[in-house]
Amino acid sequence: MEPNNQPQGAPARERGLVRVLRRIDRLDARGRRLSERFTRWRLAIFAVGLLASIITHKLGWTELGNGALATFFILFLIVAWHHNKLEDRLHRLRRWQGIKQAHVARMRLHWPDIPLRQVAVPERHGYAKDLDLAGPHSLLHLIDHTISSQGQERLTSWLFDQPPHPAQWSARQTLIRELTPLSLLRDRLSLEAQAVEEADIDGRRLLAVLQKRVDSPSLVPMLLTETVLAVSTAGLLLADLWLGIGNYWMLSFGLYAFLFLSVRSRSEEIFDHAQSLHRQLERLSAVLGYVERRSYRASPQLARLCRPLLQQNTSPSASLKQAASIMNRLSVRAHPLVHYLINAIGPWDLAHTYRLQQLQDRIAAIAPLWFDILAELDAAASLATFAYLHPDYPWPSLHQPDGTAQANGDRPILDAQKLAHPLIPATVRIGNDLLLQGRGRIFLVTGSNMSGKSTFLRTIGINTCLAQAGAPVCAESFRWSLVRLGSCIRVDDSLDGGLSFFYAEVKRLKTILDSTQDEQGPPVLWLIDEVFKGTNNRERLIGGRALIATLAGGNGFGLVTTHDLELAELERQLPSVINVHFQETVAEGALHFDYRLRPGPCPTTNALRIMALEGLPVESPASIPPR
């Protein structure tokens, strides 16, 4: 059980990313210099063109002056177009740089440079808070770089809603493994989604808009009526200008304006959506367009996932691009003067609302499938990036019962070598071996304060979550059975719920105990830290013995940590209980921890030593005999 030093593959991958960032820096510097030249050229063209036009007109060379003005104007537009193209490329290059910088930060666990996306954790979730799955410096903080709200929800569900069905898990891990070497695909998805803005694609809202039909029975008759009135107004106006027939056009225009104002308020909702969603539709169209253009010959699981996107009569990206164009044109309502001017010429709003209605009729039934595919691909890409950035993390091996045995009759197992915590830097984390096998197996973990008991429980739990999500794990090897996770590590009292710390702990333990009584479900992996720490020594000891004895007869296995060395006697009474411990050493008046798991009960305690070292009025550490 040696320290889990920096793996051999990780430095090479990090050096590769650093080389890419250096190249991006060089390209960006070259692009900035070229952009400055374009700026000078534009100023020079403007100044020379203006001067040439003024001089030639002053000299009376009107035709030459007009020609010079037109020539320099066209030249200015050409240079400006190329300058804008360059700025767009530089913008994408800097987005690409940000993606690579975040990858390096993830490898180095440099949290300030890793984007943090908020995730809501259910109030009474069985293990999410205990295992640091969400929040700052958490697992999701490390791995989540999804581009859509539905992708983030899918990734969160893979971690929060465990265990999956074996077939579902197998397909998911296959997809993640296929995506792992496809770094260009994953980064391009992020780049296309962030090309305009960094906000997530709100898939749920987009889908709601695409499915909520603009259903107005008077839409078509009103569109036809306003079209006839607009054409009549134009015809009468031209006739008045050419033939002088009189201002009859004002009658048709007045009727047209009345109808426009009377129906304007009926479609407020669609215009509100148009103003805020057309850019998201453009980004989503770009993402799906890139997915449609790729070849999937070497990735059968990925091809199977994306096949529905490639078999449509009209490509999803084209349909979404059309929806974005319609929304963009409807969003002209945000500019009242332009909006009224355009609608004065013709029924702009109604025409594009009708086009949107037709598009909705065509794609409403299949759009949910597009968003579901994107969510699956998005979530899998995050875990694939985690695997890519940690090339020495192994893929876990799922132990499944053979075909002749019932799932609940098989002996569950969790066998890990050099298991370490992925949220602790590789240079300092320690790997430990663990073998839990058979229902009722309990490791009773004793040890001094700060020796690593709680961290070890979280290490087991977070790696099991990763394994069941389909990702690689921070270990040398990992073989396990699908389990339901139950933990009691970080328990807080609740003022709102009127719960004391001890009562909250009891309720959590009761939930774990009840889950072990379900013999039909997968086994429970319980992780219990400092059992009944909210009560006195005598009652804690009595309650701890009873709880451990009951767990030993339930459907599951796990670990229980305690400071009560008296509980170590249970190993003699219950054959399924095994004592293990962490300990410390004292050198030069200071405590030192090696965080290694050892067999047997802990031979020492350190609470009084810690008190004495911090200056509390207790005996000196040298006078405290070891236990």
Q: β-pairing, 484-488 with 590-593?
A: unpaired
Give the pLDDT confidence score for residue 5 in this predicted structure.
45
Most confident of 73-77, 293-297, 381-385: 381-385
Percent of the chain with pLDDT over 90: 48
Q: Quick one: how far is CA 590 from the chain centroid?
A: 43
Of the two residues 68 and 144, the one the predictor is more confident about is: 144
Give the pLDDT confidence score for residue 241 in this predicted structure.
82
Q: Average pLDDT of 44-63?
A: 87
DSSP code of 164? P
Q: Average pLDDT of 126-153?
A: 93
Residue 556 has pLDDT above 70, yes or no: yes
Q: Which helix (H) or strand (E) holds 387?
A: helix 367-389
Domain assignments of the chain as residue spans, ordered by start: 1-114, 193-209+262-381, 397-623
Q: β-pairing, 397-398 with 442-447?
A: unpaired
Contact yes or no for 479/435 (Cβ under 8 A): no
Residue 83 has pLDDT above 90, yes or no: yes
Burial class (CB in 10 A: 0-12, 13-18, 19+), 102: middle
Of the two residues 398 and 610, the one the predictor is more confident about is: 398
The answer to whether domain 397-623 has CATH 3.30.70.580 is no
The pLDDT confidence band at residue 420, using thresholds 50, 70 and 90, is very high
- Convert the pLDDT of each residue in 393-419 to its tens digit: 999 999 987 644 444 557 899 999 999
Contact yes or no for 606/624 (Cβ under 8 A): no
Residue 173 has pLDDT above 90, yes or no: yes
Q: Residue 473's closest CA among 417, 434, 406, 539?
A: 417
Q: What are the two backbone dihedrals, phi and then psi, of residue 25, each rounded to the nearest 5 degrees?
A: -60, -40
Q: Average pLDDT of 86-99?
A: 93
Tokens of 494: 């609740």
What residues form DSSP beta bridges with 584?
A: 593
3-state secondary structure of 370: helix
Q: Average pLDDT of 538-549?
A: 88
- Convert the pLDDT of each residue in 306-338 to its tens digit: 998 887 677 899 888 988 888 888 888 778 888
**Ramachandran region of residue 490, left (φ > 0), alpha (ψ -120 to 50) or beta?**
beta
- Residues counted in the chain: 627
**Amino acid of residue 590:** A
All residues at 6 or more sequence positions from 401 whose CB lies less than 8 Å from its CB, including other chains: 407, 409, 410
The pLDDT confidence band at residue 526, using thresholds 50, 70 and 90, is very high
Residue 80 has pLDDT above 90, yes or no: yes
- The CA-atom distances, in angstroms, between 108 and each of 13, 52, 57, 341 are 12, 59, 66, 56
Contact yes or no for 331/271 (Cβ under 8 A): yes
How many CA atoms, within 13 angstroms, populate the side-chain half-sphere of residue 130? 26
Contact yes or no for 131/421 (Cβ under 8 A): no
The count of other CB atoms within 10 Å of the CB of residue 87 is 13
Dump strand ranges (E) for 474-593: 477-480, 484-488, 524-528, 556-562, 577-582, 584-587, 590-593
Rounded-to-integer distance, Cα 152 and Cα 157, Å: 8
Give the pLDDT confidence score for residue 480 in this predicted structure.
96
Rounded-to-integer distance, Cα 292 and Cα 310, Å: 6
Residue 371 has pLDDT above 50, yes or no: yes
Q: What is the largest CA-CA distance in the chain?
A: 117
Q: Average pLDDT of 104-132?
A: 91
Contact yes or no for 592/586 (Cβ under 8 A): yes
Residue 585 has pLDDT above 80, yes or no: no
Rounded-to-integer distance, Cα 455 and Cα 582, Å: 11
What residues form DSSP beta bridges with 477?
A: 417
Secondary structure of 222-245 in HEC code, one letter for each residue: HHHHHHHHHHHHHHHHHHHHHHCC
3-state secondary structure of 405: coil
Residue 618 has pLDDT above 70, yes or no: no
Q: Average pLDDT of 497-523?
A: 84
The pLDDT confidence band at residue 607, using thresholds 50, 70 and 90, is low
Give the pLDDT confidence score for residue 620 in this predicted structure.
54
Contact yes or no for 134/128 (Cβ under 8 A): yes
Give the chain's mean pLDDT.
86
Give the pLDDT confidence score for residue 416 in this predicted structure.
96
Tokens of 186: 């994953």
Secondary structure of 268-320 in HEC code, one letter for each residue: HHHHHHHHHHHHHHHHHHHHHHHHHHCCCCCCHHHHHHHHHHHCCCCCHHHHH
Rounded-to-integer distance, Cα 499 and Cα 505, Å: 9
Q: Average pLDDT of 99-120?
A: 93
**Amino acid of residue 511:** T
Look at 259-263, 309-313, 413-417, 609-613 and tell me which has the smallest mean pLDDT: 609-613
* The overall pTM is greater than 0.85: yes
